[in-house]
Chain A
Amino acid sequence: MELIDQHTKGIMEECKVRARDAGLRFDDESLEYIVTNRDLLELSPKGMIPTLYDYWVNDVEVIKGKERYKLYPNNPYETVINSRPAISFYNDNNPDWLNIMIFYHVLAHIDFFQNNTLFLNTWKDDFVGEALADKRYIEQLRSEHGRWVDYVVEFSRGIDNLAGYFDRLPLRGSIEDMQPPSKVDFYFDVFLQSMEKLPDHEIFKEIERYNKLITRNKAVAESAFFADVRKKYPEFSALYKKHTAKNGENVLDLMEFVRDNSTFLKKENNEWMKSVMNIVRGTSLYFSPQIRTKITNEGWASYWHDELFRADDRIKGHEVDYARTNAFVTSVSRVGLNPYAIGLRLIQYVEELVDKGKSAFGFQQLSKIEIREDFDKRTGKGRDAIFQLREKFSDFTLINTYVTQDFVNEHDLFVVGQRFNPQRGTVEYYIKSRKSEDYKKMLIEQLYHPPEISVIEDKTNDSNLYLSHQFEGKELMKAYIPETMTGIEYLWGGQVQLETTEIVKTDAESEDEELEYEHRRVLFTIKDRKISKTDL
């Protein structure tokens, strides 16, 4: 990977000025790299984070398919990552006009990362720096504990989609009220003094080290400083997070619960495993907001690359090229779901709604079609509204709020179904529904949504961990239950039970009758790596 050349960097800086003028807000620094196919081979399994820890599964072709995203809460192939400074990746032979368009797109993504409240917990750290420290730490552990490190990584990853991402988001998203201590303050004021109880001269030495780094390079000082801190005190990061989370409701997710309560992990020789769990959990949490804002984020970026580039004089002579590329990116598919297209149109729809005053309660009371159509209050507040949208909305809330019949009609959207045609021996794709509720339901079905599994503390003791799956109409993938539970059992060091619901087909009385499904609550128990199932 090498940085882009000065000429292109100049173009990028120019784009930043214009994007800021339009209202986008992002950090000054950004890094742009040229990537080759070889780089991508390494980057894409690591979610484009160059410093992510190594893991053997990344070297193997992992079974792909439509289910992939359900398993991995990251989109492995992004052009810009949510780091400080933000890092983005480019082809080395893009023409300048295309780079301008991409830069605007990237800047809008950075703006989204740094302002959307779902990303709130990623604002305090530079993940790339943190990941580097983690990677080195895992390497060091590997040299001590060999393959067992990989087992712990594997078993932690087995439950990393259950990390309590939403539990860690402050309730109302108003960080001003909460004011947690900065990482630096916490380190010097609390951690070193009252937790580690270091003598004064040692603390002074640390302060000196910090100051030296600050004077040398302000931008990376903190992450460099904490990279060393993590090596010395691997537990620091967890303590800091715990400390800052005190304000919110402190519900432990499965990973945390196992980490803090497992008798197996409490053994002195196994303490290191907790750090590994933390690293895996942290990585999962880092990717969580991104997968939950795919449509919104891509829509936002597409909105701005279009707005900004069309107003940019550098487009001259490339209008047709741009129109082609933009159409390729943002046209609604005949069959399929393009997040760029849907996101962009939803954002434009919201802007128009507010501009015309149609989002107001008064409008919703109107039922006459002509009046509804001609309704226009010219509020001029559409822009403000979409800036609020970028701050507060996730894919789910955006779809759930704004996929209305008007929206579906305006863009001729429909739900596509498939059926088998035995005469022709083909699978047919047909228009199943043009109703907004069906379209909305279909969209929501597609969104990333891991199962909700929590620890039932009343039924849990040192020798038994009792988990309960909250049934949401879909059963858990059966094939993966035993192996996932094996991993939990290993980390827990004792029996693990999982309560879940299975969907059982009941025999239809006659052939014409529709198949009936019955929901049955079952309990899986794993002990000594043997799994059994009982009906509840």
Chain B
Amino acid sequence: MPERKIDISAFLEKHGIDPEQEELVRRELEAGGEHHLVQMPPGKPIDAPGIYDFSDLQILQGIAPPKVSEVTALQTLEDLLERDEQREKDGFQKRIRIGRIVKPISGHKDQVVVVPTTTEPKFYHDTSTTEEEEATGGSGEGEEGEVIGEQAVDPREGEDGEGAGQGQGAEHDVLSDAFDLGKILTEKFSLPNLKMKGKKRAFTKYIYDLTDRNRGFGQILDKKETIRRIIQTNILLGNVTEEASVDPEELLINPKDRIYRVLSKEKDYETQAVVFFLRDYSGSMAGKPTEIVATQHLFIYSWLAYQYENKVETRFILHDTEAKEAPDFYTYHNSQIAGGTNVHPAYELVNKIVEEEQLARDYNVYVFHGTDGDDWDSVGEEAVKEIRRILTYCSRMGITIARNSWGSSGETTVEKYIESSGILKEKPDLIKMDMMVAADSTEERIIEGIKKLIEE
């Protein structure tokens, strides 16, 4: 990005920041790089069948391994979760997981786990620690060094992998996977529902409920209503009088007295919401912080998609020193880090979009921001100003700080200026901030973070 090269010394002079931060800024600038999409992760297992992937049943008899359907797997979810609760009480770690690292990478179907899974921890060798690339065997023509096949990493280019044993249709829809994942998230973590404030508007959507009553037949006998009817009938017949006590044995029952409830169409009301996801993809986000933020946003996104049945609108904003809107979740999730950090352009962009599209009028607006807490602008004047603007229309703003290992321990720049601005105390129900040390954060901690950001 030559056009974005900034004269460091001029920048530093202008902003007058301390040496510690100067170091951070320098490192980010020198790291260079570009925001391209997914790269091959180090230690990526080679995508070809290995020795133990072959078995007689499959190869000789063509019997595919049985697939546990997601429905079957979900049936036992309750038992499993109960068992997991019990494990915790017994002092052991929980074992049911929603997947190790859930990342929508094209052509790797099994990396998006949509059913409850578990692992069996054992001691075993880890080959991914050294940079040595994974290898497999092959045979046939070709010179050493010759490329014999390639596989597209970015599915949007529409190129299917060729030659590497990857069949057609390996691409998958991020949205539908995310949807399934969300279902498990809500069930497992009982995330509190976002409170839908603002205007309600009727949709042309129906739900079915046992609300209508019907005489004679139906799905569920409404006992109270039936008894009322029987008494009425018997009053008319003279079996029930004010003076004598009622003998239930004597009562006559007209078949028509039985009142049932039946399923009926009901109009449903829904609220609308738009959720902004903001991700810091500057150079300092390398490694864990990005993983944390991307995973957390995948979780939130999945859960929203499930809970609000894809009715929630989502917008994605990436920022380094500048902010830009990403067209879809895939790009948002998979764009690589690079460049320096300025937080305020992202907030500014949110404000701009909300204003231009007049979103505040019809929608509940939510903003989730994930960053490592670095900001070249150490005072954060701009950022705080933009936050205040956001808070005028926003239902909840949640900021996740995934502290990286670059900076010193302790408060990061963003934390400092948000704390000192006092907005956290002024509007505690509108803005939440959550800090975690990226390197030590587990999936559980990420979920915990979501809870913090959206607690009522």
User: Which of A's residues lie within 8 Å of B, judged by CB?
Assistant: 35, 37-38, 40-41, 44, 56-57, 59-72, 75-80, 89-91, 94, 98, 101-102, 105-106, 109, 147, 151, 154, 157-162, 291, 294-295, 298, 301, 325, 328-329, 332-340, 342, 411-422, 424-434, 439, 442-443, 445-451, 453, 469, 472, 474-484, 486-487, 503, 515, 517, 529
Contact of A414 among B44, B47, B58, B142 (CB under 8 A): B142
Query: Are A483 and B93 interface neighbours, CB within 8 A?
Result: yes
A333 cross-chain contacts in B, Cβ below 8 A: 48-49, 137-139, 165
Query: Are B137 and A413 interface neighbours, CB within 8 A?
Result: yes
**Does B120 belong to the interface (CB within 8 Å)?**
yes
Given A62-B118, A415-B137, A486-B93, is A335 in contact with B148 using a C-beta cutoff of 8 Å?
A: yes
Give the number of chain B interface residues (Cβ < 8 Å).
85
Query: Are B50 and A159 interface neighbours, CB within 8 A?
Result: no
Query: Are A77 and B137 interface neighbours, CB within 8 A?
Result: no
Query: Are B149 and A428 interface neighbours, CB within 8 A?
Result: yes
Query: Are B153 and A426 interface neighbours, CB within 8 A?
Result: yes
Given A161-B123, A336-B136, A414-B138, is A41 in contact with B51 using a C-beta cutoff of 8 Å?
A: no
CB proximity of B335 to chain A, nearest CB, Å: 13
Given A79-B61, A429-B164, A431-B143, is A41 in contact with B66 using a C-beta cutoff of 8 Å?
A: yes
CB proximity of B392 to chain A, nearest CB, Å: 42
Query: Are A413 and B138 interface neighbours, CB within 8 A?
Result: yes
A-B contact pairs, 29 of them (CB 8 A): A38-B66, A40-B65, A56-B80, A57-B120, A60-B80, A62-B119, A63-B117, A105-B60, A154-B120, A294-B51, A298-B54, A333-B138, A335-B48, A335-B165, A336-B50, A337-B48, A337-B51, A339-B52, A413-B139, A414-B139, A416-B148, A420-B39, A421-B150, A425-B152, A426-B161, A474-B125, A474-B129, A484-B121, A503-B130
A294 cross-chain contacts in B, Cβ below 8 A: 51-52
| CB-nearest residue of chain A to B116 | A60
**Does B18 belong to the interface (CB within 8 Å)?**
no
CB proximity of A488 to chain B, nearest CB, Å: 10
User: Which of B's residues lie within 8 Å of A, judged by CB?
Assistant: 36-37, 39-40, 44-52, 54-63, 65-66, 68, 73, 76, 80, 83, 86, 90-93, 96-97, 99-100, 110, 113, 115-127, 129-131, 133-154, 157, 159, 161, 163-165
In the complex, which of the residues A98, A337, A469, A481 has the most CB atoms of chain B within 10 Å of its own CB atom?
A337
Given contacts A69-B52, A335-B148, A450-B124, 19 further A-B contacts (CB under 8 A): A60-B118, A61-B116, A63-B99, A75-B55, A78-B55, A79-B56, A101-B60, A105-B60, A160-B122, A301-B56, A336-B50, A415-B135, A416-B148, A424-B150, A426-B159, A443-B137, A474-B126, A476-B126, A484-B123
Contact of A158 among B55, B122, B141, B164 (CB under 8 A): B122
A481 cross-chain contacts in B, Cβ below 8 A: 123
| CB-nearest residue of chain B to A505 | B129
- The docked-state distance in angstroms from the alpha carbon of A447 to that of B134 is 14
CB proximity of A523 to chain B, nearest CB, Å: 15
Query: Are A332 and B52 interface neighbours, CB within 8 A?
Result: no
Given A78-B56, A161-B123, A162-B123, is A430 in contact with B147 using a C-beta cutoff of 8 Å?
A: yes
- The docked-state distance in angstroms from the alpha carbon of A424 to that of B149 is 13
| CB-nearest residue of chain A to B136 | A416
Chain B interface, >50% SS class: loop
B44 cross-chain contacts in A, Cβ below 8 A: 418, 427
A482 cross-chain contacts in B, Cβ below 8 A: 93
CB proximity of B120 to chain A, nearest CB, Å: 6
Given A40-B63, A161-B124, A431-B142, is A57 in contact with B51 using a C-beta cutoff of 8 Å?
A: no
B136 cross-chain contacts in A, Cβ below 8 A: 335-337, 415-416, 442, 446
Contact of B149 among A151, A298, A429 (CB under 8 A): A429
B40 cross-chain contacts in A, Cβ below 8 A: 418-420, 427
Given A44-B65, A294-B52, A335-B138, is A161 in contact with B144 using a C-beta cutoff of 8 Å?
A: no
A517 cross-chain contacts in B, Cβ below 8 A: 129-130
- The docked-state distance in angstroms from the alpha carbon of A38 to that of B72 is 12
B54 cross-chain contacts in A, Cβ below 8 A: 298, 338-340
Query: Are A335 and B117 interface neighbours, CB within 8 A?
Result: no
- The docked-state distance in angstroms from the alpha carbon of A445 to that of B124 is 14
Query: Are B48 and A336 interface neighbours, CB within 8 A?
Result: yes
A61 cross-chain contacts in B, Cβ below 8 A: 68, 73, 113, 115-118
| CB-nearest residue of chain B to A146 | B86
- The docked-state distance in angstroms from the alpha carbon of A162 to that of B122 is 9
- The docked-state distance in angstroms from the alpha carbon of A417 to that of B117 is 31
Query: Are B135 and A417 interface neighbours, CB within 8 A?
Result: yes
In the complex, which of the residues A35, A63, A161, A434 has the most CB atoms of chain B within 10 Å of its own CB atom?
A63
Query: Are B49 and A102 interface neighbours, CB within 8 A?
Result: no
CB proximity of B38 to chain A, nearest CB, Å: 8
In the complex, which of the residues B55, B83, B99, B151 has the most CB atoms of chain A within 10 Å of its own CB atom?
B55
CB proximity of B448 to chain A, nearest CB, Å: 18
